[in-house]
Structure 1
Amino acid sequence: MAGHVEDRWWRDKTTDTGEVVLNEKGKPVREKTDLYGKGLRYRVRYYVNRRERSKSFPDGKLGRAKAFLAKVQTDALTGTYVDPDAGKVRLRAYVADYLKGGSDDPGTQQTLQSKLERMVFDFFGDCDLVEITRDRVREWLGWMQTRGGKRLFSATYRASMFDLLSSILSAAVDDGKISENPCRAKSIKRPKPVIRKVVPWEDEKLWRIEDALPHPYKIVAHLGAGLGLRQMEAFGFSPDDIDRRKREAHIVRQVRWINGQPTFAPPKRGKTRIVPLGERLERSIDHYVDEYEPLVVTLPWVHPAGELVSARLLINKAVDGIRRRILQNPHSARLWQAQTFHSDIWVPAFTAAGLTYVKHQDGTHALRHYYASTLLEQGVSIKALSEYLGHSNPAFTLKVYTHLMPSSHESARRASDKIFKPRVIPGAA
């Protein structure tokens, strides 16, 4: 790559005919230019794809200018050179292309877009990729702690957002848009997630919440604590998903909302599963069906424009007999959204039960934790529990619930005693 460092303050003196004037040692005589003392002194000029580029440096920084030129030339030879103008791409526009290469699941796309709007675009605005510097990332990390003074976000959530932005900027490096990912700098500290140990409910707490729930929704506690269903899996559950001969429940769908439109979708990560069904829970479901006729619902599969699928849903919001505020979305009259159920039904049950609702501990997910802890107490293996919960792998289940596994101390003592039990020696008195 051709290039040179230009001194904008001094130049070679020339005659009227354009010849360079030399001194007694045969070297060019230097004279001040009209720009002397004005602006940056040194300008590095180089060519990329036959197009001239330049970068200027102040007086006294000739060494830095030469080093920059050397680096540019080396990067060009090794194929690592990044055009400074390549990063002049709006962050929002680049993210739109980045998301196209990710999951094609509309629910995942919606979640990512929502997080980006709230936690990335709100701070960085409509900036270019090259404007996301290390200093800006540090400012962003500080801003996320309070989101402009409005709300405190947990370190775990901030860490997930940091990872998301870092992955976007790493992709920009791979695409030749920027030369480095500022999130990878040693001076940038990733938020340290707070690891919370699962504290399963005591039996009494489960019973008090079940008693306090409105009658049409006591079944939610049964499905969560008895089958380990997630909230939206419970709303997508059908009595037709039960294999009565084998006494098994087939968890094959959940209700998911995409831009205000309900859809059916497979369980989280597409992990359909079979869960053993206890006799008492089966009777509880049968009693519920006798009292509340299941509702046949037809929804698109996965995507609002997907193939229509019908299912006879167990939980029927349309006939629960509970007076509520009028919602504009017609689908909300028969199907629950997660946050609406949380605020209208779940949290008020704690008040009715005389309990204090604790965030991050008392959501409907606590029913799954109760289910997991109960199975572990009964000696169910981590591998089996992982399958029943629909986890990605047993290692994740072990990480979440290892502290709830029954102690092996007594078994270890018995094994040790067996090894060192008294021996009968022939001929011994």
Structure 2
Amino acid sequence: MAHVEDRWMRKKRGPDGKVEYDAKGKPVLERHPERYGRGKRWRLRYYVDGSERNESFVRKADADNRKDEVAADLLRGTYIDPNAGKVTFFKQAEEVVENRTLDPASRVKMRERLATHVYPVIGSAELGMLSRRPSLIQKVVKSMESGGLAPKTIEVIMAHVRLVFSVAIDDELIVKNPVKSSTVKLPKVVSKKLTPWTEDQLFGVADVLPERYQATVDAGSGLGLRQGEIFGFGPDDVDWLRGVAHVRRQLKLLKGGPLVFAPPKGGKPRDVPLAESVKVALSEHMRRFEPVEATLPWVKEDGKPTKVRLFFSNTLGRQVHPGTFLKVWHRALVDAGVVPKLAAGEKRDLVHREHGMHMLRHYFASVLLTEGESPKAVADWLGHSDGGVLLLRTYAHLMPKSEERMRMVIDGALRRRGSLSDGPDTAHGLIG
């Protein structure tokens, strides 16, 4: 049983030690000599698994509401000890980051985002208190908006915060996830329509790249590979007879500079059909630039050394460093007229950043979808794990539309309504 008691007042007792009553038969109350005016006045006491628990409140109404809540939770078997939520957000978040199945680079990035944008606002606050006050979570969002973060970046960071609270619920530390409250509003992400490169842009960039890198354009636009996958791709990953490219790894740059080999994004290898033109381009590239052997750690800096033959190498005969290649790529974009030349001291703006190597991947997807290829198949070749949902959001405006087919389908469906059986004029009557 749960009951609420008044910590400030007590029943008055007479000289004989018995409780005194007023004319209405109610106990006479007097101030408690030690507790009156100190701390919260109302205390809820109840038992869980034979042990007494208590919570204090300023208002009696709050204590009574909590009493009803506790009684209902105990009845349903969903009771959670309020003391469990005294863990700080920082402590819980760090445990989540440490125990989450992530590659080292993603772990570093997640911790970095939380430390920079979330911990300064709510890091020292207790989970229990935060779960009851979604307005404090909105404060985190407002802080990031004020700091100039893009809506998409805020969305990613708040996904981390949501995860921390979700794990806390699973661990029975709190009951509710405050990020899911209607009080918490994220800035609207306005999706910009993707404009793939034209053939002239694609071939123009390929033509002005140094010869040893020109086949990267064929690998990206012909196989849909990401930048890291291109530089982690080798001749032993190709089934030349069957015409299949096995995407097994990527070359990844970890925080702080070390290079490692790692699984493709999402951790899942995939097979991509190898078009004859891409096969020829890779074969010609190997004839002119012999594949190089590279030995790098697997996934993390102290990971197992992994030896791989690579298609692409730098002028020193080593694996390509993404940071160094970025300068080569940007020079090619300027020379091909895709982006304007930067003035001395000028930093790359959004226009320049939008034309990274991922434009090759976009070209691959857009060509296939425009020609009517199945979105599910394209998603598989790109390595999307959502069955094509992201693909459709990104490329739907590029997919072919058949107005004549649409008319035929609708006509066929509406004829079954029987409207045409009454005569040739009835169909016109439907719209007249």
- 1:116-164 superposed Cα distances (whole Å, 9 cap, x missing partner): 3333334433443234331210110111224xx3xx3222222222222
- 1:317-368 superposed Cα distances (whole Å, 9 cap, x missing partner): 2527xxxxxxxxxxxx74423x5543x2333433333424616632211111
- 1:43-67 superposed Cα distances (whole Å, 9 cap, x missing partner): 214144534423131xxx4333333
User: What's 2:336 paired with?
Assistant: 353
User: Which of 402, 405, 408 pairs up with 1:408?
Assistant: 402
Matched, 1:301 2:298: yes
Secondary structure, aligned partner of 2:166: helix
User: What's 1:76 paired with?
Assistant: 74
After TM superposition, the structure 1 = structure 2 runs for residues 7-18 of structure 1, keeping only pairs within 5 Å, are: 7-8=7-8, 10-18=9-17
Write the distance in 2 (CA, Å) between the matches of 1:100 and 1:85: 23
Q: What's the CA shift for 1:180? A: 1.9
**Counterpart amino acid of residue 314 in structure 1:** F
Write the distance in 2 (CA, Å) between the matches of 1:126 and 1:233: 40
User: What's 2:264 paired with?
Assistant: 267
Q: What's the CA shift for 1:369? A: 0.8
Contact 2:88–2:124 (Cα < 8 Å) also in 1: yes
Question: Aligned residue pairs: how many?
Answer: 398
Secondary structure, aligned partner of 1:198: coil
User: What's 1:323 paired with?
Assistant: none
User: What's 1:97 paired with?
Assistant: 95
Write the distance in 1 (CA, Å) between the matches of 2:25 and 2:279: 104
Write the distance in 1 (CA, Å) between the matches of 2:35 and 2:263: 71
Write the distance in 2 (CA, Å) between the matches of 1:174 and 1:130: 14
Change (3 A) 1:48 1:414: closer
User: Which of 393, 397, 402 pairs up with 1:399?
Assistant: 393
After TM superposition, the structure 1 = structure 2 runs for residues 29-40 of structure 1, keeping only pairs within 5 Å, are: 29-34=28-33, 38=37
Alignment RMSD (CA, Å):
3.3
Matched, 1:181 2:182: no
User: What's 1:251 paired with?
Assistant: 247
Write the distance in 1 (CA, Å) between the matches of 2:137 and 2:83: 21
Write the distance in 2 (CA, Å) between the matches of 1:405 and 1:180: 42
- 1:187-246 superposed Cα distances (whole Å, 9 cap, x missing partner): 222443322332111122223333443443333222212221110000001133233323
Secondary structure, aligned partner of 1:317: coil
User: What's 2:309 paired with?
Assistant: 312
Contact 1:5–1:66 (Cα < 8 Å) also in 2: no
Q: Point out where structure 2 has 5 or more consecutive residues left out of the alignment.
A: 341-349, 416-432
User: What's 1:192 paired with?
Assistant: 188
Change (3 A) 1:179 1:276: closer
Contact 2:135–2:184 (Cα < 8 Å) also in 1: no
Matched, 1:365 2:358: yes
Write the distance in 1 (CA, Å) between the matches of 2:27 and 2:243: 98
Contact 1:6–1:45 (Cα < 8 Å) also in 2: no
Matched, 1:336 2:336: no
Change (3 A) 1:306 1:40: closer
User: What's 1:145 paired with?
Assistant: 145
**Counterpart amino acid of residue 300 in structure 1:** P
Write the distance in 1 (CA, Å) between the matches of 2:53 and 2:374: 67
User: What's 1:56 paired with?
Assistant: 57
Contact 1:300–1:306 (Cα < 8 Å) also in 2: yes
Q: What's the CA shift for 1:267? A: 1.9
Secondary structure, aligned partner of 2:118: helix
**Counterpart amino acid of residue 365 in structure 1:** H
Write the distance in 1 (CA, Å) between the matches of 2:40 and 2:398: 68
After TM superposition, the structure 1 = structure 2 runs for residues 211-250 of structure 1, keeping only pairs within 5 Å, are: 211-250=207-246
Q: What's the CA shift for 1:68? A: 2.6
Secondary structure, aligned partner of 1:21: coil
Contact 1:256–1:262 (Cα < 8 Å) also in 2: yes
After TM superposition, the structure 1 = structure 2 runs for residues 88-167 of structure 1, keeping only pairs within 5 Å, are: 88-99=86-97, 102-103=100-101, 105-132=103-130, 133-146=133-146, 149=147, 152-167=148-163
User: What's 1:206 paired with?
Assistant: 202
Q: What's the CA shift for 1:273? A: 2.8
Contact 2:220–2:364 (Cα < 8 Å) also in 1: yes
Secondary structure, aligned partner of 1:183: helix
- 1:357-405 superposed Cα distances (whole Å, 9 cap, x missing partner): 6166322111111112222344433333223222222444333322212
- For normalisation by structure 1, the TM-score amounts to 0.80
Q: Point out where structure 1 has 5 or more consecutive residues left out of the alignment.
A: 321-332, 421-429
Change (3 A) 1:82 1:417: closer
Write the distance in 2 (CA, Å) between the matches of 1:182 and 1:412: 45
User: What's 1:427 paired with?
Assistant: none
Contact 2:40–2:56 (Cα < 8 Å) also in 1: no
User: What's 1:67 paired with?
Assistant: 65
Once structures 1 and 2 are overlaid, which stretch shifts more, 196-205 or 374-383? 374-383
Contact 2:245–2:271 (Cα < 8 Å) also in 1: yes
Q: What's the CA shift for 1:418? A: 12
Q: What's the CA shift for 1:102? A: 3.6
**Counterpart amino acid of residue 287 in structure 1:** E
Percentage of pairs with the same residue: 33
Change (3 A) 1:417 1:390: same
Write the distance in 2 (CA, Å) between the matches of 1:111 and 1:154: 17
